[in-house]
Structure formats: structure tokens, C-alpha cells
Amino acid sequence: MQYLKKAVVTPGSNEQETRNITNDILQNIRQNGEQQAIDYGKKFDGWHGDIVVDQKTIAQAKDSLSQQLKDDIQFAHDKVSSFARQQLDSIREFECELSPGVWAGQKLIPIQTAGCYVPGGRYAHVASAIMSITTARVAGVSNVIAASTPKPEYNGIHPAILYTMDLCGADQILAMGGVQGIAAMAFGLFTGHKANILVGPGNRFVAEAKRILYGEVGIDLFAGPTEILIIADGDADAELVAYDLVGQAEHGVDSPAWLITTSEKLAAEVIERVPHIIDALPEEQRQTATESWRDYGEVILCDNDEEAVELSDEYAPEHLEIQTGNPDWYERHLKNYGSLFVGEETTVAFGDKCSGTNHILPTRGAGHYTGGLSVHKFIKIVTTQKADRQANRELATVTARLSRLEGMEAHARTGDIRLKHYFPGQKFNTGIEG
């Protein structure tokens, strides 16, 4: 394989600085409580208003939006909730008899409280509210707390985000972003409910806060800057490929956009087109995408399809597009990715906004071991077991022997005592010599 364009920076270059800053903020809020979180909100977001959003404010946000926008939000919500319900239907509770007198099963127990973070910085991420809150609700979460960055120019949370949070079923909404928003949900500030799980995308400080808190609370996944990888061959449309790469590059200055191709001609065309597409963007997006493509963009030429699959699986990208003449072959062979987009007729932006699949996905190689946010993240799949007394003949004797093999005598005796109680006077081979 040959790198026709190579990234000059790797994600995570400022990890230690991010970790130190985030840890300090979390510890200060943990020690000093709500007022400390409020003070950070004033410092970082310039917000001096109420933290818990009331129904009057939500109603005003709803009234301020056009009917077209509300219809579009409803469209996306319906698609995401429909897909989430299908996911929920794919898992079930059951009980089975593994051997005579031994029953085992699984129960599905929704998490009690979910904290859903919705980015509200540079962009109004209404889709992120849909992806997290809607999915939690479909999963059956009892209490959903949502938090997003307030902006003085909106007199609080962006009205479209606020409307969407309410539409999707948030029980409490906090006008608090960044690390302080994550801390408020994790520590139960302002609501009295500690989140059992924290979900949702955010900047590097939000992602680091979730990483630090993992274990104390659950999280959806370890996330970094958004990524796109496109596998394309000579049959692909270079313009579509280039636009899709730029579509993700505008997310942030550290958002990787990768192209793997078996066609040197396509590679050259894409490399030529991308700067022109970026130059035509509005100024803010142009500056972001320029830095992202310059520092993190890559174009790799592979000798064949097998090599392309091998390299893609090594990258394990968050978003993976297939624009080739044989997409079905690639779909069968690819293993590591967050979400797959098959054929030029679909694109990452569809999944990001409204097609139905979730856009909260693994980055930075996490696609090797996990998928994205789903109803499964909000449900504990726990096991149950029952046994009758006759089943103890086998269960207790095998348990006793295995426990003694491992040197765990107290374990063994929990089997011994049942044999003694249920089958008095009978002899069993429990691993005791003599």
C-alpha cells in the first residue's frame, strides 16, 4: 500500500493537558457541589441564569421554531425511535431447563437514570438529543436527565435543542455544558438523581470527563473526534467521495477523514477536488475543514480489495462508507467499524441526522471491540437460576470437586452441606480423600 497523503498529526496529541484540566474541574465540583458547577458555567459559558430549565422556557422555545423545523425534528425522532424499537425487539427474556431440575435464564432490566449530554457549542446538535434521549426512552429508562451548553445569545440552551430534548422525553433539562454538565449529572446535582450511565458526544474535555468517571458510572463508549473512512474504487464518483470526506472534516480541526482506494486515478481526482470543496464553505467551516484535512486527512492506495479490507479493519473507523463496484463483497468481509454506509446512495450525514441508526459511535479504534449507542446500553441483561433438590446431586458434587481443585474450601462446603441436608446418609464423591 502507498500513502498518497499522510496525516501529520495524530488524535490525542494534547491528552495529558486535557486529562489534568478535566480532573481538576471534576474534583472541585465533587468537593464543592452545585455552586462550584454554577461558577464554572459562568466562567466557561458566560451563563448566569437558572440551571434547571422550566416548562415556560421550553414552551417559549417551541413557539420560536418554524413548523418546518419541528416537522423535520419529528421525522428524525420517528426514524430513530423506530429503529431503537426494532433493536429492543431483537433481545428477549427467557428461561430454559439446562438439565433436569436446573433452570437458567436472563432478565432485561432498564437502567434507572440516564444522563444524556447534548453538545451545544459551535453547532446546534439537535440530532444528538434525538440519538441519546429517544434511545433511552425506548429502552425503558425510568428517569432521563439531559444537559447542554447555554448561550447568552439564546438566553439559555439553543431553542431547537431545548425543544428536541423535551420532545424526546427528557425528565429534567440542565442548562449546563462541558465538564460541569457531565459532573452535574454524574453527581446528582440540581436534580437529586445520580446518573447510572452517561451518554452523548462532546468535545475532548467532555469525552475525558466520561472516561475519568467510568466505573463510578457507566458510559456509552470512549469517544474522540469524529472520523470517516471511505473505501472507493475506480467505479466511484470522485466528487461524491470528496464531498463526503469534507462533510466530516468540518466537525473539528482534529477530525480524521481517510480514503482507501484501489484506483490511483480516483485518488488523484479526490485530492484535487477536496480543497476546492472546502474553499466554497462559509468561513468558519472552511477554516475548520482546512485544518482537519491538512493535519488528519489521508489517502491510501491499496493493491487490491483484500488489502483495502485489512487496512480498514486496522483503522476501525467510526463511520465507514463503501463506494465500490462490489459493495456486497465488502459488506461481507469488513469487521471493524462503528456504522457502515453501503453504496453512494447513502452517506454519513444521513446517519448523523435522520435515517434511523444511531450516530453516537466508537472512535479511535474502539470499533475493534464495541459498537455504538443502542437500547442495549441502557438495559442490564442479568442472569437468573433455579434448581430443585434432585439437581443438587450433580450440581453440588461437581461444584465441591471443582472448588477443591481450585483450593476454595468454603465454596466446596456450600455444596457439601446441601448434599448432607437433601440426601442424608448417602455418599458422594466431593473430592475429599478417604
- Which H or E run contains 175? strand 172-175
For residue 11, pLDDT over 70 is answered with: no
Confidence of residue 340 (pLDDT cuts 50, 70, 90): very high
* The pLDDT of residue 125: 85
For residue 206, pLDDT over 70 is answered with: yes
Which residue is catalytic, options 318, 321, 344, 359?
A: 318
DSSP strand pairing (102-110 vs 113-118):
unpaired
Q: Determine the Cα–Cα distance for residues 97 and 386; give it in Å rounded to an integer.
A: 9
Collect all residues with Cβ–Cβ distance below 8 Å to 331 and sequence separation of at least 6.
322, 340, 342
% of residues, the chain, pLDDT over 70: 98
* The pLDDT of residue 434: 41
Q: Determine the Cα–Cα distance for residues 124 and 151; give it in Å rounded to an integer.
A: 11
* The pLDDT of residue 284: 94
Alpha-helical (H) ranges within 50-125 are 55-64, 67-89
User: Could you tell me the strand order of the sheet in which 339-342 lies?
Assistant: 2-5, 298-301, 257-261, 228-232, 319-323, 339-342
Q: Determine the Cα–Cα distance for residues 197 and 215; give it in Å rounded to an integer.
A: 10
Q: Which residue has the cell 425522532?
A: 77
In the residue annotation, 310 being an active-site residue is answered as no
For 214-226, how does the pLDDT look when each residue is reduced to its tens digit (9 = 90+)? 999 999 988 788 9
With beta carbons less than 8 A apart as the criterion, state whether 180 and 209 touch.
no
- Which H or E run contains 110? strand 102-110
- Which H or E run contains 187? helix 178-187
| SS3 of residue 385 by DSSP | strand
* The pLDDT of residue 83: 96
Collect all residues with Cβ–Cβ distance below 8 Å to 79 and sequence separation of at least 6.
354, 355, 356
Most distant CA pair in the chain, distance: 89
Confidence of residue 433 (pLDDT cuts 50, 70, 90): low
Which residue is catalytic, options 77, 319, 321, 344?
A: 319
* The pLDDT of residue 312: 98
For 125-147, how does the pLDDT look when each residue is reduced to its tens digit (9 = 90+)? 899 999 999 999 999 999 999 99
For 403-419, how does the pLDDT look when each residue is reduced to its tens digit (9 = 90+)? 999 999 999 999 999 99
284, 288, 294, 298 alpha-carbon torsion, rounded to 10°: -130
Q: Across all residues in the chain, what is the average pLDDT?
A: 95
The predicted model scores a pTM of 0.91
For 32-75, how does the pLDDT look when each residue is reduced to its tens digit (9 = 90+)? 999 999 999 999 999 999 999 999 999 999 999 999 999 999 99
Confidence of residue 432 (pLDDT cuts 50, 70, 90): confident
- What mean pLDDT do residues 340-361 have? 95
With beta carbons less than 8 A apart as the criterion, state whether 265 and 233 touch.
no
Cell of 171: 425528565
Q: Determine the Cα–Cα distance for residues 369 and 240; give it in Å rounded to an integer.
A: 30
Confidence of residue 116 (pLDDT cuts 50, 70, 90): very high
Confidence of residue 323 (pLDDT cuts 50, 70, 90): very high
* The pLDDT of residue 154: 92
* The pLDDT of residue 13: 57
Confidence of residue 12 (pLDDT cuts 50, 70, 90): low
* The pLDDT of residue 203: 87
Q: Which residue has the higher pLDDT, 120 or 258?
A: 258
* The pLDDT of residue 175: 98
Collect all residues with Cβ–Cβ distance below 8 Å to 100 and sequence separation of at least 6.
390, 391
* The pLDDT of residue 222: 82
CB half-sphere exposure, 373, CA atoms < 13 A: 35
The phi and psi torsions of 198 (rounded to 5 degrees) equal: -115, 130
In the residue annotation, 319 being an active-site residue is answered as yes
Q: Strand locations in 276-315, DSSP E?
A: 298-301
Helices (H) then strands (E): counts for the chain: 17, 16
